[in-house]
Amino acid sequence: MPEQGVSPKEARTSVELFAGGGGLAMAVRGAGFRHLLVNEYAPRACETLVANGAVLRDVADASLPVLEDGDGGVGPLAEDWPLVAGDVRGIPSFGFLRDAEVDVLAGGPPCQPFSLGGAHKGTEDERNMFPEMFRAIREMRPKAVVCENVRGLLRKSFEPYFSYILREMRLPFLTRAEGATWEEHDDLLKAAIERGDADPAESYVVHPVEVNAADYGVPQIRRRVIIVAFRADLGVDWSRHSPRPEFSEAALLHSLVDGRYWKRHELDGDEFVDVRARTMAELPSVMPMDDGLRPWRTLRDALAGIDDNEGVPLPPVPLEALAAKEEVGGVREHRGWPGARIYKGHTPNVLDRPAKTVKAGVHGVAGGELVMRLDDPTFDGDGYRYMTVRETARVMTFPDEWSLAGPRSEQMRQLGNAVPVRLGRVFAEAVRNALDEAEGRS
Which residues form the catalytic set? 111
In DSSP terms, 37 is beta-bridged to 15
What phi and psi values does residue 168 have, to the nearest 5 degrees? Answer: -70, -35
For 170, other C-beta atoms within 10 Å of its C-beta total: 18
Is-contact 67 102, C-beta < 8 A? no
* HSE value, Cβ hemisphere, 13 Å, CA-based, for 111: 29
Q: Could you tell me which of 301, 327, 322, 305 has the C-alpha nearest to residue 385?
A: 322
Amino acid at position 124, single letter: E
CA dist., res. 29 & res. 23, Å (int): 10
* Per-residue b or e along 398-411, where b marks 16 or more CB atoms closer than 10 Å to that residue's CB: bbbebebbbebebb
Amino acid at position 339, single letter: G
CA dist., res. 35 & res. 12, Å (int): 9
Is-contact 150 130, C-beta < 8 A? no
Element housing 187 (H / E): helix 182-195
Is-contact 61 97, C-beta < 8 A? no
CA dist., res. 96 & res. 82, Å (int): 14
* HSE value, Cβ hemisphere, 13 Å, CA-based, for 209: 16
Q: Could you tell me which of 146, 103, 204 has the C-alpha nearest to residue 441?
A: 103
Amino acid at position 328, single letter: V
Element housing 39 (H / E): strand 33-40
DSSP state for residue 163 in the 8-state scheme: H
CA dist., res. 39 & res. 15, Å (int): 8
Supply the DSSP string of 386-410, one letter for each residue.
EPPHHHHHHHTT--TT----SSHHH
